[in-house]
Amino acid sequence: MAGTSVLLHCRSLVWIGSRVVTSGAINNNISFIVKQSVRDFCSKMSAAELAKKAAACAAVDNHVTDNCMLGVGSGSTIVYAVERLADRVKTENLKVQCVPTSFQARQLIINHGLNLSDLERTPELDVAIDGADEVDDQMNLIKGGGGCLTQEKIVAANAKYFVVIADYRKRSKVLGEQWKKGVPIEVIPMAYKPVMSQLCLQFGGKAELRMAKAKAGPVVTDNGNFIIDWQFDAVPENWKSVNQEITLIPGVVETGLFVNMAKKVYFGMDDGTVSIKE
């Protein structure tokens, strides 16, 4: 956007209005509050990224072995998992076949020089590692914030062991506590309107067609479909039943509800440690 700037180095630069200035050039009349808020912002960002990396590295170290058939998830946390995987493959000479869950995952695998496969050649996976938008106390997940839910669920369902990696902000007692954008639902384009109506009629809440930010029109998935985000009013007592009922609506391809699928969750904490739930 014209007139804005990017904060490049948190320790030496401060964003003031539309200008970036060095800390030594900041005028004395710049309030302490402004400078402190920028430092706090940088600190929070680095803590979150540190947490993602810690969870990703722990999962790869604990679950990837030689001759592993691996499902590679999508999202920002997976980037760290692939980086760690590539490092281990190089230093330990591991042989790993990687099945992606999205175009992003495929590019990560290729760009890191890893062996790319698919479910046609590798239909049975030893483990799948993926992120989540939210994880509740029962290890139910909401996924699909990045629009890759269908391929993510297919890959996870074909793995003997499904491992989730996330930072501390994704942990909730119940779904909807942290993630406020609703349950992503992939739909056939011609059916999006009737599916939205049926969701509200059958379950209440609000359903919205997800619109793209860098193009005109709706988000289009890797499968050529649309995404509906269903925001529920009250937390259902039985997510498994809700998931099954939604998938029965004509036009629904898949939901972002991953119920009774995760075997272990690695939560990276803001101090760099990892909390494991299983």
pTM: 0.83
Helix ranges (DSSP H) in the chain: 32-63, 76-92, 103-111, 149-157, 192-203, 239-247
What are the φ and ψ backbone dihedral angles of 133, each rounded to 5 degrees? -85, -30
Measured from the Cβ of residue 57, the count of other Cβ atoms closer than 10 Å reads: 21
Question: CB of 269 within 8 A of CB of 54?
Answer: yes
**In a 3-state reduction of DSSP, which class is residue 265?**
strand
pLDDT for 23-37, tens place per residue?
A: 444 444 444 443 454
Q: Which tokens sit at 16?
A: 């003031």
Provide DSSP, 101-114: SSHHHHHHHHHTTP
* Cα 49–Cα 52–Cα 239 angle in degrees, nearest 5: 130
What are the φ and ψ backbone dihedral angles of 225, each rounded to 5 degrees? -110, 175
pLDDT for 64-93, tens place per residue?
A: 999 999 999 999 999 999 999 999 999 999
Question: CB of 19 within 8 A of CB of 5?
Answer: yes
- Choosing from 92, 120, 152, 278, the catalytic residue is 152
Instruction: Kindly tell me if the per-residue pLDDT of 44 is higher than 90.
Output: no
pLDDT for 126-171, tens place per residue?
A: 999 999 999 999 999 999 999 999 999 999 999 999 999 999 999 9
Alpha-carbon separation of residue 144 from 21, 40, 63, 249, 273 (angstroms): 38, 29, 23, 19, 26
β partners of residue 186:
227, 254
Q: Is 152 a catalytic residue?
A: yes
Q: How far is it, in rounded angstroms, from Cα 11 to Cα 268?
A: 24
Question: What pLDDT, on a 0 to 100 scale, did the predictor assign at position 9?
Answer: 35
Q: Which tokens sit at 117?
A: 């496969």
pLDDT for 227-262, tens place per residue?
A: 999 999 989 989 999 999 999 999 999 999 999 999
β partners of residue 49:
none
Question: CB of 245 within 8 A of CB of 198?
Answer: no
Question: CB of 155 within 8 A of CB of 120?
Answer: no
Residue range 177-201: mean pLDDT, rounded: 97
